[in-house]
Amino acid sequence: MPASVDRPAPLEALAAGVSATIRAADLDEGLGSLLAAAVATLGATSALVSLQDPDRPDPELALTVGLDDAAQGAAVAAVADPSHPLTAAGRDRAERRAGPTVALPLVGSRAGIEEPLGAIAMTFASEADATAADPTFLKLVADIAALAVDRSRLAATAAERSEWFERLAHTDPLTGLANQRTIARVLELELTRAGRQGSEVSVAIFDVDDFARVNDDSSPMVGDDVLRSVAAVLAGSVRLVDTVARYGGDEFLLVAPGSAGATVARRVLDGIADLPPVAGRPITITAGVARFPDDGTDVESVIAAAQAALDRARSERRGTVETTEGAGA
């Protein structure tokens, strides 16, 4: 007669599983601890967890307890069968039994609407052992597992939303470039660094020529297409160390560490020249370039110097790059 096996008391095991689930660093660790406690308490031989990804039609085997590598591979193939208890429980949102295996669905709720999250299955040494397993304990394990999955998804959603808001706070929604707030901070940091190191920073302001006429003669949607096209050229023409942003309605600002701002600006103009005409009119831009510390010692004065160079270019030779020395190109 086999020796009896000391099993954890159900309440103690459940408490330990809940505690581990709450404190786990990730979902797999939490579910693994919970299912391991359940397996030990009920005397099961193994456990499986499948999770239903909202973006995929079929659930996937996410976790196993008590299986070696070979058995895990066999389990992946087995749960692909729609009649497997784990798969059926998740699909039908109801308990399913087959021989020594008991499976229960993981179900969450949003605004009173049930949401399938997956399923758990526990396998025992015999069908009799499966039948004898405490159904209340099994249901509690399934509910806690569902809560852990739901909690993990809420955390992931919150993190994604936070990242989205962070990105939104720093980018222009139309062009995808940095926005005015972000470029001002970048320029401030670059000027501080350059002042400390005794180096230079170039600042260029780009203006889309006759942009108002594009909007008037065509439509604001065509104007948006022009801005997106210009932004794409800017993003593809600058160096990795440079930052480019939408600075106004039809203006863009480049912050380029070093003295190569005019060179980068000319490269941008060359790229713009290759763009196809919009509404029968070629896209051209004009640029004004200034340098720190020669043309200004703070954010406001450097931008003012670049703006003055841009104004000269717009009044004298549109479609060119004007520097503070007055040498257009």
> From its phi and psi, is residue 210 left (phi > 0), alpha (psi between -120 and 50) or beta?
left
Instruction: Count how many residues are written for the chain.
Output: 329
Query: Among candidates 115, 103, 109, 113, which has minimal Cα distance to 61?
Result: 103
Q: 3-state DSSP call for residue 242?
A: coil
**CA-based R_g, the chain, Å:** 32
100: tokens are 């020594």
DSSP tag of 57: S
Token pair recorded at residue 30: 């939490």
Are 90 and 105 contacting, i.e. CB atoms less than 8 angstroms apart?
A: yes
pLDDT of residue 2: 43
Angstrom distance (rounded) from CA 20 to CA 99:
30
pLDDT at 7: 65
Chain CA centroid to CA 163, Å: 6
The pTM for the full model equals 0.54
CATH fold label, 180-323: Alpha-Beta Plaits (3.30.70)
Beta bridge pairs of residue 16: none
Strand partners, 107: 116
Q: How many CB atoms lie within 10 A of CB 82?
A: 9
Strands (DSSP E) along 88-190, which ranges? 96-98, 101-110, 113-123
pLDDT (tens digit, 0 to 9) for every residue of the chain, 329 residues total?
Answer: 344 456 667 677 677 767 777 776 788 888 888 888 889 889 999 999 999 887 667 788 989 999 998 999 899 899 989 999 999 999 999 999 999 999 999 998 877 788 889 999 999 999 999 999 999 999 989 998 898 888 888 877 777 666 556 655 688 989 999 999 899 999 999 999 999 999 999 999 999 998 888 877 778 788 899 999 999 999 999 988 899 999 988 999 999 999 888 999 999 999 999 999 887 788 999 999 999 999 999 999 999 999 999 999 999 888 899 998 754 55
Q: What is the pLDDT of residue 3?
A: 44
Domain 10-168 shares a fold with domain 180-323: no
C-alpha to C-alpha distance for 240 and 105, rounded to whole angstroms: 50
For residue 37, give the nearest of 62, 19, 24, 51 by alpha carbon.
19
Which of 29, 54, 22 is CA-nearest to residue 157?
Answer: 54
The dotted CATH code for 10-168 is 3.30.450.40
Domain ranges of the chain: 10-168, 180-323
